[in-house]
């Protein structure tokens, strides 16, 4: 019995283990992947080998992670795009390591199935490979991520990716439009539109693969360039604004769901994003309806006033209020109690009316 209780407690505490937990157990062979099982690197590699598209969506908080997880998305990316769609910045540059860890922790609590990747934010890996490894370790130890993503394919970024991989941490690369480099790129502009730029993007993707990356994001590049890169690599490519010839696709949660309709968000919503819902419209209407019902007194109605104080306790309460000189309070309480009682009688009558005759 004690062993069973200990085992149960351990199972609950390890409800969501890391995705890189070994698939091969000492006392058992590898188990087949089921729809509810944790997505691991092995699972992603199997999909890639079978030429099955890989799905990835961003999430930044517990509710978003739950939705992404329940939708069966393979990879949940905790992106530094949180700076734009959550914090309201015009770029991702202000996002800090502390910000990212807060978002990662929330997502980790909500996602039990998806493979979790956390973005290393601007300023967290550029100084040295040691800095890159230190912050990548924090992403796993503190943030609960399964892997990290970093942007760029320059010599220093490739060195950082290699150092992180050698530290035993899975790394996803990112080439093409790299939002953290907009001061150099001159804004959010598509990349690889000349033959020399296209070759550079390809070479950077190859260097990231050689450094040990398990996958690479291709952002805002022409589809022929993305097709060439995908064909050249032996690891999955995840496209965003890169056409249909990648190994998988990623979109930002708020963009694909149409979460926000205000001018700032319309300004930063990319052209390549397909809107699969208009959640923002539903939210706006719900908030407007709530405001109207509060103003008109329709909310809260009796149905949403569930807590009662019995008649005897009400009488004692009213007497106590009167004895203390709170006459107005006693009168208000008495009126409220009367309304509650009338609502209870009406509810009881409705229940009896709804019951079928015997």
Query: What residues contact 97, with CB distance under 8 A and at least 6 apart?
Result: 120, 121, 123, 124, 135, 138
Is 219 tagged catalytic? yes
Exposure string of 230-258, with b = 16+ CB inside 10 Å and e = fewer, is beebebbbbbbbbbebbbbbbbbbbbbbb
Query: What residues contact 45, with CB distance under 8 A and at least 6 apart?
Result: 214
Distances (CA, A) of 71 to 35, 167, 277: 11, 32, 14
| Structure letter (DSSP) for residue 58 | E
Q: Rounded distance, CA 271 to CA 19, Å?
A: 33
Q: Rounded distance, CA 88 to CA 84, Å?
A: 5
| Structure letter (DSSP) for residue 3 | H
Q: Rounded distance, CA 150 to CA 118, Å?
A: 9
- Count of all residues that appear for the chain in the document: 358
Distances (CA, A) of 182 to 45, 56, 90, 148, 152: 32, 23, 11, 21, 12
Query: What residues contact 81, with CB distance under 8 A and at least 6 apart?
Result: 58, 92, 119, 179, 252
Q: Which is the catalytic residue, given 52, 126, 151, 219?
A: 219
Strands 54-58 and 75-78, bridge-based pairing: parallel
Strand, helix or coil for residue 259: coil
The residues carrying an active-site annotation are: 219
């Amino acid at each position: 019995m004690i062993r069973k209780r200990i085992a149960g407690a351990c199972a609950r505490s390890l409800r969501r283990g890391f995705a890189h937990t070994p698939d091969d157990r000492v006392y058992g062979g590898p188990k087949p992947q089921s729809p509810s099982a944790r997505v691991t690197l092995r699972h992603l590699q199997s999909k890639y080998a079978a030429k099955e598209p890989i799905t990835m969506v961003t999430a930044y908080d517990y509710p978003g992670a739950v939705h992404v997880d329940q939708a069966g998305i393979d990879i949940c990316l905790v992106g530094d795009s949180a700076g734009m769609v959550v914090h309201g910045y015009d770029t991702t540059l202000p996002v800090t390591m502390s910000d990212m860890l807060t978002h990662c922790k929330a997502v980790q609590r909500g996602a039990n199935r998806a493979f979790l990747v956390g973005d290393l934010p601007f300023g967290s890996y550029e100084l040295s490979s040691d800095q890159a490894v230190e912050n990548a370790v924090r992403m796993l130890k503190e943030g609960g991520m399964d892997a990290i993503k970093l942007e760029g394919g320059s010599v220093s970024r490739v060195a950082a990716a290699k150092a992180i991989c050698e530290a035993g941490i899975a790394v996803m690369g990112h080439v093409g439009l790299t939002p953290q480099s907009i001061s150099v790129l001159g804004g959010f502009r598509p990349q690889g539109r000349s033959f020399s730029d296209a070759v550079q993007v390809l070479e950077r993707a190859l260097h990231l693969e050689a450094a040990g990356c398990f996958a690479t994001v291709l952002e805002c590049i022409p589809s022929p360039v993305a097709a060439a890169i995908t064909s050249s690599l032996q690891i999955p490519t995840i496209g965003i604004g890169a056409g249909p010839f990648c190994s998988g696709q990623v979109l930002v949660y708020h963009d694909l769901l149409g979460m926000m309709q205000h001018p700032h968000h319309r300004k930063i919503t990319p052209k390549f994003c397909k809107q699969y819902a208009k959640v923002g419209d539903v939210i706006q209407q719900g908030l407007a309806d709530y405001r109207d019902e509060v103003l008109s007194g329709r909310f809260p109605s009796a149905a949403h006033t569930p807590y009662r104080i019995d008649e005897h306790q009400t009488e004692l309460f009213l007497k106590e209020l009167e004895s203390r000189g709170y006459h107005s309070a006693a009168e208000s309480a008495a009126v409220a109690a009367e309304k509650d009682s009338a609502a209870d009688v009406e509810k009881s009558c409705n229940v009896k009316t709804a019951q079928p005759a015997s």
